Amino acid sequence: MESRKLEEVCDKCKENCCSRCFDDGEDSIFNCLTTDELELLVKEKRHIHFKAGETILKQNTSASHVVCVKRGLAKILAEGNGDKKLILRLVASHSILTGGGLFIDEIRHFTIQAVTAVDCCFIDSDKIYELVSRNSQFAFELLKLNNRQNMEMLNNLVGITQKYMPGRVSDLLLYLKNKIFQTNPFDTRLSRQELADMTSMTMESFIRILKEFKLAGIISVEGTTIHILDEEALNLISRKG
């Protein structure tokens, strides 16, 4: 679980990581930055590689950095009392992770963990603060990003508190296909326990619902790869609760 730094300060990685990373995402919040500002952002940032399973940032530690996921898949989880966890959402390539204590108490309110191998950048929070005060468009983009992420999270949690298990599993499967992987047979790389933790239910219960869906011909499952055969059925189950 220990994080290893492969490249400390990446001087030459700018062209193959930083600027590119901030270029190709057409809806990147960094698009509005000037060359100077990008330079500032990039200057002291560190490029770090994590292996699958490693903890990128731990809940309740200081939130002095913002993380930018360049490659790979990570999960965001809230750790409760005992060993209860709730996986709030997944984070795919080219996502920036704000929120969670940034601007407030400088404390991480959730843990970020690598699902697959993850390449990411750590950016000093101070840089973000400075850019907010320099560039109002950037502040605007950040507010937008923040609100969007939070609305998604909220809708998700409302679903979890209001729906029965089949509805929650449907929502999860649709989320994975449409929001995260965007292909149809998709390999989640997530254990049954992790999938269960995304729906706030027991692993056993999750497996049972999955089996029902398989028997009903709605999905087919092969290890961690899921194939949605009847998306309409999932939509229906999702709506019915």
Partner DNA sequence: TGCATGAATTGATATATATCAATAATGGAA
Partner DNA sequence: TTCCATTATTGATATATATCAATTCATGCA
Q: Tell me which residues touch a copy of itself (CB under 8 A).
A: 78, 80-82, 84, 86, 88, 99-104, 109, 129, 132-134, 136-137, 139-140, 142-144, 146-148, 150-151, 153-155, 157-163, 200, 239-241
Q: How far is the CB of 177 from DNA (least distance, A)?
A: 18
* Residue in the block written with tokens 């698009």: 31
Chosen from DNA, a copy of itself, none, partner binding at 150 (C-beta under 5 to 8 Å by type): a copy of itself
Among 1, 4, 223, 232, the residue binding DNA under the rule CB under 7 A is 223
Chosen from a copy of itself, DNA, none, partner binding at 158 (C-beta under 5 to 8 Å by type): a copy of itself
Q: What three-state secondary structure class fits 174?
A: helix
- What separation, in Å, do the N-terminal and C-terminal C-alpha atoms of the chain show? 37
User: Which of the residues 128 through 167 are near DNA (CB under 7 A)?
Assistant: 164-166
As given in the structure block, the two tokens for residue 61 are 């530690």
Dihedral of CA atoms 6, 42, 31, 15 in degrees, nearest 10, equals -60
Q: How far is the CB of 201 from a copy of itself (least distance, A)?
A: 10
Residue placing its CB nearer to DNA in the complex, 63 or 219? 219
Among 20, 211, 239, 240, the residue binding DNA under the rule CB under 7 A is 211
d(CA 163, CA 238): 8
Q: How far is the CB of 110 from a copy of itself (least distance, A)?
A: 8
> Which amino acid appears at position 83 of this protein?
D
Residue placing its CB nearer to a copy of itself in the complex, 80 or 223? 80
Q: Which of 226, 102, 221 is nearest to 176 (CA)?
A: 226
**Residue 191 engages DNA in binding (rule: CB under 7 A):** yes
The residues, ordered by sequence, that sit 6+ positions from 178 with a Cβ below 8 Å of its Cβ are none
Whether 91 and 74 have beta carbons less than 8 Å apart is answered as: yes
User: Which of the residues 89 through 108 are near DNA (CB under 7 A)?
Assistant: none
d(CA 184, CA 204): 25
Whether 54 and 114 have beta carbons less than 8 Å apart is answered as: yes
Binding site for DNA (CB under 7 A): 164-166, 191-193, 200-205, 207-208, 210-211, 221, 223-224
